[in-house]
Amino acid sequence: MREAVMEKIGQLYEEMVAIRRHLHQHPELSFHETKTAQYIADYYETLGIPYEKHVGGNGVVATLVGGQPGKTVALRADFDALPIQDEKDVPYKSTVDGVMHACGHDGHTAALLCLAKALQAHQAKLPGTVVFLHQHAEELAPGGAKPMIEAGVLENVDAVFGTHLWIDAPVGTVQTATSEFFAGADAFDITIQGQGGHGAQPHQTKDSILIASQLVTSLQQIVSRSLDPLHPAVISVGTFHAGEAFNVIADQATLKGTVRTYSTCDQDSIKRAMESHIKGACMSHGATYTFNYHKGYPPLVNHKEEAELVIQSVMEVPGVQYAYYIDPVMTGEDFAYYMLERPGAFYLTGAQKEEHNYPHHHPKFDFNERALPICAKTLFQCYLAYQQK
């Protein structure tokens, strides 16, 4: 049965590419993926696999009950896009202005749909049950995973596996970690309220730009001087807005950014330290401030046994040449919520292009479509290996 499913997945390569390119041409932003969700539902309708729509929002969940006894394993793929203008010169370029699949979620969806098709062809010989989790809104907190879990998608599920097509790794590689893998991803915004005035008379102002500039620098001291150097963390200021005229000192400046950590203790420490730095800078200049800290996705912590299962089993997958552990990465993933509820693991499937390899979330992002069947096969292998453990 295993070899037959693997062969079937390989035969569906062109269909995977066609699905992926269709979705790439018709992207939808987080929490607005109504047409994409309908496309997924229609696919399962055609296959005759039972499914539910509007799960926790725009989520779609399909269930395939095998003909042999076994465990229930959930496999997850996300399907939202990003607010980025597609700048690629390809036939499948996004047709939606200012929106594109710049992270590979279209590929995740195509791989999982065709995996469902391949498994259905051998349903009578399948052990246990496969739950196909098509999740909306991974890119935007509070995300789609949590409401889908609250809607009951993990009821009776024994384990959950998911993967991400990864542009930083060559096709044929699989990477994961046995504990912390992706960081907790928080956001913050700071507004400095000073007193504006003429650029020629700075002594009569409370310069919000000066204060905010000092903060951009001083916030970096939190990680370097307030945290244990063995605890990875990142504080990044992403936007700085102030003023409208070259000869006017702005009365207000706004900073926005992100904090990445692997523990709630470090998260709380950073938040307290940020407040202290902001307060000190504003007091020294007689300004006031507002500080909003928004907790996002928690750290994604793999379960050790399931992560080891991934590495040990995927080497049996046709097309996989290397499978190995890597250091944690600082990107965020709401797959973390599934790991808080059930055993499982998240892993990266190499999808690097031979040339013009632009990073995730870049306007020219694309991935090597030869990774699609590997993505589907490794998910199947994880499901099968868990049945046998």
Amino acid at 286: G
* Type of residue at 304: K
Active-site residues, by number, are 80, 138
Give the strands of the sheet with 252-261, arranged side by side.
Answer: 234-242, 252-261, 184-193, 288-297
Q: Flag whether 136 is marked binding.
A: no
- Round to whole Å and give the CA distance between 122 and 99: 38
Residue 139 is assigned to a ligand binding site = yes
With vertex at residue 299, the alpha carbon angle to CA 297 and CA 300, rounded to the nearest 5 degrees, is 100
User: Which structure tokens are listed for 379?
Assistant: 């998910």
Long-range contacts made by residues 365-369, C-beta under 8 angstroms, separation at least 24?
365/88, 365/100, 365/101, 365/102, 365/103, 365/167, 366/88, 366/90, 367/104, 367/107, 367/165, 367/167, 368/171, 369/16, 369/17, 369/20, 369/107
* 285 in a labelled binding site: no
Instruction: Please report, as a single letter, which amino acid is at residue 252.
Output: Q
Sequence-distant (≥ 6) Cβ neighbours of residue 113 within 8 angstroms: 16, 19, 40, 43
CA angle 322, 323, 328 (to 5 degrees): 130
Residue 375 is labelled as binding a ligand: no
Rounded distance between C-alpha atoms, residue 365 and residue 102, angstroms: 5
Rounded distance between C-alpha atoms, residue 313 and residue 64, angstroms: 22
**Residue 103 annotated as part of some ligand binding site:** yes
3-state SS, residue 324? strand
- Residue ranges of the annotated binding site for Mn(2+) are 103, 105, 139, 164, 361
